Structure formats: C-alpha cells, structure tokens
C-alpha cells in the first residue's frame, strides 16, 4: 500500500489541506510528529492506529521511538514496515513535509524498499506564522525576495552549512526556522557581514495557534528575545510591518464541541470565526434500536395503513427510509416533518415532505396536523426513551398514534489519548442536548478515566442547562437564543467576567467538576 506524506500545516488544524484531511479519515495508521495539532488526529477513523514519533526527552512515557541520532533511521524503518503491511499509512508532518521536515529522507527510504509513496504538500510555518503576525514576507517596495533557512547548523563551512555572510549580502527577507538556540550567533554573523544592527526582526512563537506570541526587535537585540521553540525568526524591513487581523472575542480559547460531527458545522464556524480553537468530541451518536430495527421494519411494511407518518429528526427519517423500497411502499400515507432538517433528510431518499409547519417544533406540528378525521392514524418513528410531546399532542387531537423506536442515541466517547489530553486543557465545553451532557460524563479516556469537565460549560438552551446542573456542573452559560452566534456571545461574556476561565499558566490544572 501507499505511504502518504501529509503536511499537517503550521498548527491551526484548519490549515491542513482538504486532501490531507481526506487521507487522515481513510488511514489505517497515522504516524505523527510532536508539533502536529492533536485535533487533526481525531479525524482518523475509530480503530486507526496512532503512532507518536515525536521527539521527547528520553524515557518519557509514550515515546514509541528512541530519541537521539538514530531516531530518523528508526522512523524510516517503521514507515517501510507499515507501508509493506498492506495498510493505508499517513505520515503526518508539521507544516510542509518537504521543508526542513526530513520528508525527502523518508521518501528515499520508502523508494529503496520498493514501497509506493505520495506527498500532500502543506502550509509551511515559514510563511504562515509571519502572516498571522501581520507580516507579509514579500511586500511591494519593501522586499522582493524571501529566503528560508535553517538555524540548526554547526560549522557553517561544513557541507550543508549555512553561508550567513552571503545571505546577509543577498538582502531581502530571511526566515529562519529552528533558529532559537542559535539566535545570538545568527545575529552576529549577519551584522558582521554588513546587515545593519537596527534591521527589523520579528520572532513568532507557536504561529497560527491560539498561543501565538510575537516579539518585534532588531538584529542587535535578537539574542535577548524571551521566547522559545517552535518559533520562526523574520529578518528584514517587512518584520516591522503589522497587518494583523482583528482578534475575535474567543481568541486563544479552546472549546470542546460535543455534537455529532454532521450537526456541528455552523457552531464550529461561528466559534472559529470568533478565534476559538475547536476540538470536536462527539459524545453522542445515533445507533440501531435494541431490537436491531425489527419493529421499525414491521411498521414500515404497514406504512400504507396510515394517514400520516411523522418525523421529528433526520435520524428517524434515515432509519425509516432504509426499510422502504421506494415511495410506492407508502401508498396514500403522507409525510409530516418537524422542520427543514427532517425535510432535507426525506429529500435525500427521493421523498417529499407533505407538511412542514411554519413553527419548527412539536407543538407547531401538532397544530398543523389539526384534528383527526374519523379513525385518523399516525405512525411516529422516533428515538428510544425520548419524551415525546408530539405523540401526546396528536392523541389530544383525536389521532391514533403508533410509536415505533427508529434509533437509539448511544452516549459516551472514547477519544484517542492525544485528544483526551487536549480536552483536559480546554476552557469551554458546549452541549446541545441533555444526551450530550450524559455522553460527556460517560466518556472515558484510553486509561478508562472520566474526562475532566472544562471550567466553562455552555448550553444551547434551558433544557440542556438543567441537565448540566443535575450532573453537578455549576452555573452553565446559556445562549439567549438557540443560535451559534448567540452562544458565542454568551461564552465571550462569561470569559470576560472576573475569575472566569483560568490563566494560561494554569491551563489544565482545574479539578474534575463531575
Ligand atoms: N516542515 C515544517 C518545518 C519543520 S522544522 C514547516 O514547513 O513548517 C521545525 C521548525 O519549524 C521549528 O523549529 C520552527 O522554527 C518552525 N515552526 C514549526 N511550527 C511553527 C509554528 N507554529 N510557529 C512558529 N514556528 C514554527
């Protein structure tokens, strides 16, 4: 099989390419580096093997590969072995795989062993980190060239060493990667070769992440900059520019979203637009009913006996429709739905909703169906265990209602260790239903431990907030209206209050609230 060298992007998971994300979803094995954002790993399918080959201090738990000089040889061997095993392998590398990522060496090893490979280029930190600090690496009238160079060199005259004097003479913008340890020497060499000591310099640490920090200085002062790795050093006139985007209300805040992935898109977008880092941890998932769906199949076979078939969720639509050959099985029965999402779900099966109430609620549907004609019958495929306003309301209107369980909400997630670690450090968790709250509490990390509840719990409505309070989560944030924007505003408001959240130094040190 093929080993895909995929560029993960510089840090922000949104900067991984679409092709890279698609391959991550398909992979049987993901071999990843230290700097790769953990929420990208959550894209991997359940059961995919995640192998951390990141550099860690020797002896640290979780290091699957030795540190030191033969680490790369060990990674190469691992890739060859996995690539020969018939599984789909993604080698996920920070930034772009072929820019100081040793991707070329990995490819050589794969080729030598006859393993097929393919590369998915990535957004490199060399350009993305300056960009997010408001620095264009070239700029009309300021710089017409950019050179990306490694600062991780020993003897500059050795083969592969960096000729700093030539770079100093070449002018333009210099972007130094892996240069923090040697920043004093680099500055001295550049000044000695003729770059003015007051040349603007910007150091961007953890670029594109919520923890990004930027320090602007000059070559003369570069040695005193108090930032660590990973950082890029930008040298040249453009380093004095600052065209930063306005910071969102949730900049730097990590938010866990617990909705099923296919229902969380608008919430994710609203959070990301406000600058939040979003971790997806679906804590509920629709599953088959306890009888495996036999009651639903029997009901679907009698569909033509009903006047109406009513749906209050897309899940119920999909489960029910799976038992139909096509629309003819419905006879003269008509289809009623609670709102547009269920109507869309019907459309996906080539069925048209006969009734969509103007008010998208159970009450709205009851009102729209009105009083039953003599012997009027409704089939209602629904979720197991739900409190169903609809069935009661319809019976009040004289309808004979047959309820059948179409699906069951499975509660609880088992996130891979890296994601569980990130969740443990998140400031905010968002719940959109009581079952998502229960699902979070039922979730376990890979050691079987419950997940830590983040300090701020945000709920989409009062029913969910009540469930959160019952679960011991004190003072949940509730959106004024059930829209993503309103929820974002409510979270921002809470984080702005004194004593809300926790300062970065204490990230992850809170007590479990459950
Ligand atoms: N292939 C990667 C670079 C790997 S070398 C890429 O294209 O981005 C590792 C170096 O990249 C780090 O020492 C640092 O200089 C830089 N780097 C990686 N991620 C970074 C980030 N988020 N912010 C700033 N610098 C980063």
Tell me which DSSP letter residue 450 carries.
B
Residue in 132, 452, 425, 414 with CA at minimum distance from that of residue 255: 425
Name the pTM for this structure: 0.63
| Contact (CB, 8 A) for 205 and 213 | yes
Which residues are near ligand 1 (CB < 6 Å)?
Answer: 10-11, 35, 94-96, 99-101, 124-126, 129, 177-178, 204, 206-209, 229-232
Q: Residue 452 — left, alpha, or beta (φ > 0 → left; ψ -120 to 50 → alpha)? A: beta
Which of ligand 1's atoms lies nearest the C-alpha of 97?
1
Q: Which of 14, 232, 233, 234 to mutate to test the pocket of ligand 1 (most atoms within 8 A of CB)?
A: 232
Residue 513 binned pLDDT confidence (cut-offs 50, 70, 90): very low
Over residues 26-55, the pLDDT tens digits come to: 999 999 998 888 889 989 988 899 999 985
Q: Report residue 400 as tokens.
A: 């004979």
Mutate-to-test residue for ligand 1 from 12, 14, 34, 94, highest number of ligand atoms within 8 A of CB: 94
Q: How far away, in angstroms, is 386 Cα from ligand 1 center?
A: 49
Q: What is the mean pLDDT of the chain?
A: 89
**Token pair belonging to 36:** 């790769």
Q: Which of 42, 500, 45, 451 is nearest to 278 (CA)?
A: 42
Which residue has the CA at smallest separation from atom 11 of ligand 1? 177
Nearest to 172 by CA among 149, 142, 196: 142
Is 55 an annotated catalytic residue?
yes
Distance 133 CA to ligand 1 centre (A): 15
Greater confidence (207 vs 160) lies with 207
Q: How far is the CA of 233 from the centre of ligand 1 (A)?
A: 10
CA pair distance 13, 271, nearest whole angstrom: 14
178 part of the active site: yes
Q: 346 by DSSP, 3-state: which?
A: helix
Positive or negative CA dihedral for 363, 368, 374, 380? negative
Tell me the backbone φ, ψ of residue 344, rounded to 5 degrees: -60, -40
**Which candidate in 1, 28, 163, 178 is catalytic?**
178
- Is the confidence at residue 293, as pLDDT, over 50? yes
User: Residue 154: what pLDDT?
Assistant: 60
- Tell me, yes or no, if 93 is annotated catalytic: no
Mean pLDDT lowest for which of 414-418, 425-429, 508-512? 508-512
Confidence category of residue 3, pLDDT binned at 50, 70, 90: very high
């Amino acid at each position: 099989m093929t080993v895909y060298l995929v560029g993960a992007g510089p840090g922000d998971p949104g900067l991984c390419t679409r092709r890279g994300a698609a391959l991550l979803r398909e992979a049987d094995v993901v071999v990843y580096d230290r700097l790769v954002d953990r929420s990208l790993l959550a894209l991997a399918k359940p059961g995919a093997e995640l192998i951390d080959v990141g550099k860690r201090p020797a002896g640290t738990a979780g290091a699957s590969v030795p540190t030191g000089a033969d680490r790369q040889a060990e990674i190469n061997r691992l890739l060859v072995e996995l690539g020969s095993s018939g599984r789909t392998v993604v080698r996920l590398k920070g930034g772009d795989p072929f820019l100081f990522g040793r991707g070329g060496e990995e490819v050589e090893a794969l080729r030598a062993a006859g393993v097929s490979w393919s590369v998915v280029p990535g957004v490199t930190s060399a350009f993305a980190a300056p960009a997010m600090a408001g620095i264009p690496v070239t700029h009309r009238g300021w710089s017409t060239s950019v050179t990306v160079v490694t600062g991780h060199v020993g003897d500059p005259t050795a083969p592969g060493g960096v000729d700093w004097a030539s770079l100093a003479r070449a002018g333009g913008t210099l972007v130094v990667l892996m240069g923090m340890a040697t920043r004093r020497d680099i500055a001295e060499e550049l000044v000695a070769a003729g770059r003015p000591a007051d040349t603007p310099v910007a150091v961007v640490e953890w670029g594109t992440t919520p923890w990004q920090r930027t320090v602007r200085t000059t070559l003369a002062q570069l040695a005193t900059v108090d930032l660590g790795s990973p950082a890029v050093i930008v040298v040249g006139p453009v380093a004095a520019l600052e065209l930063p985007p306005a910071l969102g209300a949730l900049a730097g805040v990590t938010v866990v979203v617990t909705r099923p992935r296919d229902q969380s898109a608008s919430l994710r977008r609203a959070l990301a637009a406000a600058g939040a880092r979003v971790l997806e941890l679906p804590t509920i998932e629709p599953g088959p009913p306890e009888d495996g769906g036999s009651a639903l199949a029997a009901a679907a076979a009698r569909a033509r006996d009903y006047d109406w078939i009513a749906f209050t969720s897309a899940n119920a639509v999909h489960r029910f429709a799976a038992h139909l050959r096509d629309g003819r099985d419905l006879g003269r029965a008509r289809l009623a739905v609670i709102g547009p999402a269920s109507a869309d779900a019907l459309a996906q099966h080539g069925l048209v909703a006969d009734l969509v109430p103007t008010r998208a609620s159970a009450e709205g549907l009851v009102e729209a169906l009105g009083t039953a004609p003599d012997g009027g019958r409704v089939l209602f495929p629904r979720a197991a265990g739900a409190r169903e306003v609809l069935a009661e309301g319809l019976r009040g209107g004289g309808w004979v209602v047959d309820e059948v369980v179409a699906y069951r909400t499975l509660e609880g997630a088992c996130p891979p260790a890296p994601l569980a670690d990130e969740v443990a450090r998140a400031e905010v968790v968002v719940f959109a239903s009581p079952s998502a709250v229960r699902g979070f509490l039922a979730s376990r990390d890979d050691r079987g431990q419950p997940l830590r509840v983040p300090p701020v719990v945000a709920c989409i409505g009062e029913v969910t907030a009540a469930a959160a309070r019952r679960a011991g989560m004190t003072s949940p944030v509730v959106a004024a209206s059930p829209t993503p924007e309103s929820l974002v505003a409510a979270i921002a408001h809470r984080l702005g209050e004194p004593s809300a959240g926790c300062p970065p130094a204490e990230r992850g040190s809170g007590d479990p609230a459950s």
